């Protein structure tokens, strides 16, 4: 009996060993295949932040990060992200902020200066000159909550003091959205799994193979990346997403689930989150696509709509009111009926009711480039549940909008703000940061009017923005007549600013190159005020380089921008702490801006460095301070 038991144990052991070996073979195969693909150089890794080769110890956002989110990386749309440089090791006393969002958060069409990060950097530095601010943006066009969620762990590792979010308009049609041409399906668990395994070379190979086989051949890279077509045209997969349809609900649930996961991660990491309510053009942009419900009598509806529209144009408001009220009663799906009703009610002076009708039209626009109002409810609900702070961006714009309805006075097209709109958006976040006590420092008052005068935008940025919008509105889905002036082109005798802006628009030069050319032009024209503005912008976007700080500081001092000059000389001193010339210039800037604490500290440092040079003696005499107290 003992021998038999021993034999049974050996048999059982062999069976288990065989099972382990059998299961290990495919695992080993995949491990070897993964290793082989990596050794062969197949595929890529796309971390959110990369080391800066020419600046050891610094990181910047990965300019190719969008490739992480597309099935075939070789057919990636040309989507840019501003590469803000920042120290890999966060210095003590630094206030670090990370911005997340889509094209509005990124400042389209003006660029970084109009972005939430650019506007806020300038405002915070002006108000709190003694604090070192690092505003890092990860915002870029055509991305939605999947991208924001996927970035969270990498952002947390950078130890931000706050995260600012403005996102939601791309939820349906942005990359990985339920209606996007760049979708990976409609199953959230599947998409999250794909994102989690995106570094796997096997998965990259399978995804590329799937794309090729299911499309009947290689992806049409030209169709996706060709710059002649706008990004709006290229990312749309589903043009019709009716309100309350299955796709509509899936998009809403996608936004809710991803945002909840994102807020939970930041809360658990102890990082304050400021998330803005969403604003768009309510009255100045008609719905892109309006369709009737399947059971609506189209002939009756069209007749009533035509009668109401004609009466509105003729100024017969009572007749128009009767017809258009009946129009929305006949069909609750058609966006155009509600939009016409909004125009009528605005003409009647009933602005609250007009806004309700405009919002109903926007929510029923089946081409979902604008977030429905339900998303603001989601934002408020989740912010309350996960200890995040709601930034009332929409309310801020409504307060400034004519008759309390957001229109073309603040918007460029369907949802991107003009410069005033961008300023108000950033101002709302600035106020929220201060109200919550996240920013605490010795405050130097800079009122809103002064801050608006100092927005970090040049004439070249303005012109480039104008060209970008003319291009956008000259293409689908904008209607004929949306562009009221010729498409971007160089005039017969362009000014220097126009030539630089056109080269920037055509992507012949980078923004930095454009600013250096503009600075050289202003210096040649001896326009010191404009030269100082450009130099300060270059210094703020290259704040870890010494030369731009010194040049901008000198120019700012010459045109009496003393607060800017002091900030810039402080940065220059971080590179050369014992530079007497820098300290002398800082003392003069602080004295001119009545910052006597800064003057005293700077002169104390000068005493320890140089007590005999004529330059230093002259400075003490100028500032009426004894050389040897």
Q: Which residues contact 184 (CB under 8 A, 6 or more apart)?
A: 71, 176, 190, 191, 194
Helices (H) and strands (E) in the chain — how many of each? 26, 8
Same domain assignment for residues 542 and 602: yes
Q: Number of folded domains in the chain?
A: 4
Q: What is the pLDDT of residue 88?
A: 94
User: Is residue 537 assigned to a domain?
Assistant: yes
Same domain assignment for residues 255 and 148: yes
95: which strand partners?
A: 133
Same domain assignment for residues 110 and 243: yes
Same domain assignment for residues 132 and 252: yes
Contact 444, 596 (CB under 8 A): no
Q: What is the pLDDT of residue 116?
A: 97
User: Is residue 567 assigned to a domain?
Assistant: yes
User: Is residue 492 assigned to a domain?
Assistant: no
Any idea what the Cα angle at residue 368 is, between residues 364 and 371, rounded to 5°? 85
Tell me the CATH number at 323: 1.25.40.10
Tens digits of residue pLDDT in 425-476: 999 999 999 988 887 655 666 788 889 999 999 999 999 999 999 999 999 9
Pairing of strands 58-61, 86-87: antiparallel
Same domain assignment for residues 182 and 275: yes
Question: Which range is least confidently modeled, 121-125, 404-408, 425-429, 606-610?
Answer: 606-610
Residue ranges with strand state E in 198-318: 273-276
Contact 289, 366 (CB under 8 A): yes
State yes or no: pLDDT of 155 exceeds 90. yes
User: Is residue 353 assigned to a domain?
Assistant: yes
With CA atoms as reference, report the closest residue to 534 among 517, 515, 549: 515
Same domain assignment for residues 244 and 129: yes
Same domain assignment for residues 148 and 262: yes
Same domain assignment for residues 14 and 116: no
Tell me the CATH number at 153: 3.40.50.1110
Instruction: Name the band, by pLDDT with cuts 50, 70 and 90, for residue 76.
Output: low
276: which strand partners?
A: 391
Q: What is the pLDDT of residue 361?
A: 98
Spatial separation of the C-alpha atoms in residues 304 and 321, rounded to whole Å: 11
Same domain assignment for residues 354 and 398: no
Same domain assignment for residues 534 and 574: yes
Q: What is the pLDDT of residue 71?
A: 65
Tens digits of residue pLDDT in 157-215: 999 999 999 999 999 999 999 999 888 888 899 888 888 888 776 666 776 676 566 54
State yes or no: pLDDT of 5 exceeds 70. no
Mean per-residue pLDDT over the chain, rounded: 88
User: Is residue 234 assigned to a domain?
Assistant: no
Query: Terminal CA-to-CA distance of the chain, rounded, Å?
Result: 105
User: Is residue 535 assigned to a domain?
Assistant: yes
Q: Which residues contact 240 (CB under 8 A, 6 or more apart)?
A: 289, 291, 366, 367
Range of the domain at 307: 298-364
Same domain assignment for residues 31 and 62: no
Longest C-alpha distance within the chain, in Å? 110
User: Is residue 105 assigned to a domain?
Assistant: yes
State yes or no: pLDDT of 16 exceeds 80. no
As a three-state string, the secondary structure of 50-61 is: EECCCCCCEEEE
> Can you tell me the mean pLDDT for 288-316?
95
User: Is residue 563 assigned to a domain?
Assistant: yes
With CA atoms as reference, report the closest residue to 304 among 286, 321, 287: 321
DSSP state of 236: B
Same domain assignment for residues 565 and 588: yes
């Amino acid at each position: 009996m003992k021998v038999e038991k021993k034999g049974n144990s050996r048999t059982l052991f062999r069976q288990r060993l065989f099972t382990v070996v059998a299961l290990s073979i495919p695992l080993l195969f995949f491990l070897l295949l993964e290793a082989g693909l990596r050794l062969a150089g197949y595929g890529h890794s796309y971390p959110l932040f990369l080391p800066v080769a020419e600046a050891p110890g610094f990181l910047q956002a990965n300019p190719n990060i969008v490739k992480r989110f597309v099935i075939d990386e070789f057919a990636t749309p040309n989507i840019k992200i501003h590469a803000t440089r920042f120290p890999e090791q966060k210095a003590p006393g630094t206030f670090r902020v990370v911005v997340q969002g889509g094209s509005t958060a990124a400042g389209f069409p003006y660029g970084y200066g109009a972005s939430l990060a650019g506007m806020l950097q300038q405002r915070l530095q002006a108000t709190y000159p003694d604090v070192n601010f690092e505003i890092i943006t990860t915002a870029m066009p055509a991305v939605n909550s999947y991208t924001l969620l996927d970035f969270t762990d990498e952002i947390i590792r950078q130890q931000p003091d706050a995260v600012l979010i403005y996102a939601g308009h791309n939820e349906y049609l942005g990359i990985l959205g339920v209606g996007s041409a760049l979708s990976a399906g409609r199953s959230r668990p599947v998409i999250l799994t794909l994102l989690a395994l995106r570094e796997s070379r096997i998965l990259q190979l399978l995804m590329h193979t799937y794309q090729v086989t299911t499309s009947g051949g290689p992806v049409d890279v030209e169709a996706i990346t060709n710059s002649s077509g706008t990004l709006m045209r290229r990312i749309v997969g589903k043009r019709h997403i009716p309100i309350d349809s299955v796709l509509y609900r899936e998009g809403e649930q996608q936004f809710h689930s991803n945002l909840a996961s994102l807020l939970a991660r930041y809360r658990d990491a102890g990082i304050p989150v400021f998330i803005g309510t969403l604003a768009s053009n309510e009255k100045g942009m008609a719905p892109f696509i309006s369709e009737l419900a399947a059971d609506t009598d189209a002939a009756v509806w069209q007749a009533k709509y035509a009668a109401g529209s004609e009466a509105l144009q003729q100024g017969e408001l009572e007749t128009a009111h009767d017809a258009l009220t009946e129009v929305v009663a006949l069909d609750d799906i058609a966006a155009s009926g509600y939009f016409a009703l909004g125009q009528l009610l605005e003409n009647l002076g009933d602005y609250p009711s007009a806004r309700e009708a405009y919002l109903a039209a926007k929510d029923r626009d089946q081409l979902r480039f604008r977030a429905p109002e339900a998303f603001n409810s989601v934002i408020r609900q989740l912010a309350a549940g996960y200890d995040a702070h709601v930034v009332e961006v929409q309310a801020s714009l409504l307060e400034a909008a004519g008759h309390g309805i957001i229109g073309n006075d603040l918007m460029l097209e369907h949802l991107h703000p003009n410069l005033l709109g961008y300023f108000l958006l950033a101002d709302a976040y600035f106020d929220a940061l201060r109200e919550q006590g996240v920013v605490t420092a010795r405050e130097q008052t800079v009122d809103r009017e002064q801050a608006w005068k100092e927005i970090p935008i040049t004439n070249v940025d303005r012109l480039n923005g104008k060209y970008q919008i003319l291009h956008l509105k000259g293409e689908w889905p904008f209607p004929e007549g949306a562009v009221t002036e010729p498409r971007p082109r160089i005039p017969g005798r362009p000014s220097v600013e126009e030539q630089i802006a056109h080269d920037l628009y055509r992507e012949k030069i980078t923004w930095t190159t454009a600013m250096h050319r503009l600075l050289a032009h202003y210096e040649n024209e001896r326009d010191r005020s404009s030269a100082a503005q450009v130099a300060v912008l270059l210094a703020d976007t290259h704040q870890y380089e010494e030369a731009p700080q010194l040049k901008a500081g000198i120019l700012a001092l010459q045109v009496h921008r003393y607060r800017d000059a002091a900030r810039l000389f402080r940065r220059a001193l971080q590179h050369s702490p014992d530079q007497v010339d820098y300290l002398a210039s800082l003392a003069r800037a602080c004295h001119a801006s009545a910052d006597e604490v800064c003057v005293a500290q700077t002169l104390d440092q000068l005493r320890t460095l140089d007590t005999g040079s004529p330059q230093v003696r002259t400075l003490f005499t100028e500032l009426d301070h004894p050389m040897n107290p």
